[in-house]
């Protein structure tokens, strides 16, 4: 029955694998236990796959939205230089960029301390992905700033 533990996702096995093996050693090997394990495997994979899809989709939606807002600002503000002070909009863009850079650095440092250097530099953790997304926001806002000041 220990072989059923290896059907769980890798991240789940790292977190709960040893505990499950200990519980399996203490329980009887019945048909009900096998069914419970199979249902647990299905549930663990469902959670694993839905978290990956939903999180990546949310980050990409946020980056697309921020990019569209910045493109709209560039297209609408440049022709209206007399009506709107472009410097104020550019200042707002650079403030958002600096805030996102600060948050990206803080998130990256937290990822390094929480998961270690190897996992912190990979894109396997949500904190690393969030840090990368915030760097994307920084790049888009700085580009908007540079376009507006020229």
From CA 7, how far away is CA 129, in angstroms rounded? 26
**Greatest Cα pair distance in the chain:** 80
Residue 1 is predicted with a pLDDT of: 67
From CA 107, how far away is CA 103, in angstroms rounded? 6
Whole-number mean pLDDT of the chain? 78
How is the chain split into domains, by residue range? 2-149
pLDDT top residue among 135 and 86: 135
Residue 93 is predicted with a pLDDT of: 80
pLDDT top residue among 117 and 70: 117
Residue 68 is predicted with a pLDDT of: 74
- Asked if residue 56 has pLDDT above 80, the reply is no
Q: Which long-range contacts (CB under 8 A, 24 or more apart) does 17-26 make?
A: none
Would the pTM count as exceeding 0.75?
no
For residue range 65-115, list pLDDT tens digits in order.
777 777 776 666 666 555 566 777 778 888 888 888 888 888 888 888 888
The torsion of the CA quartet 88, 92, 98, 104, rounded to 10 degrees, works out to: -170
């Amino acid at each position: 029955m220990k072989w059923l533990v290896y059907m769980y996702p890798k991240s789940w096995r790292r977190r709960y694998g040893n505990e499950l093996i200990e519980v399996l050693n203490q329980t009887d090997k019945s048909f009900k236990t096998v069914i419970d394990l199979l249902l647990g495997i299905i549930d663990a994979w469902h959670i694993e796959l839905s978290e990956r899809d939903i999180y990546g989709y949310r980050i990409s939606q946020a980056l697309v939205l921020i990019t569209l807002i910045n493109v709209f600002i560039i297209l609408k503000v440049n022709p209206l230089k007399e009506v709107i002070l472009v410097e104020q909009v550019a200042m707002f863009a650079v403030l958002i960029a600096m805030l996102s850079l600060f948050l990206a650095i803080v998130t990256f440092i937290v990822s390094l301390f929480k998961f270690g250097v190897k996992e912190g530099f990979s894109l396997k953790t949500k904190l690393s992905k969030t840090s990368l997304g915030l760097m994307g926001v920084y790049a888009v806002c700085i580009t908007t700033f540079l376009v507006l000041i020229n």
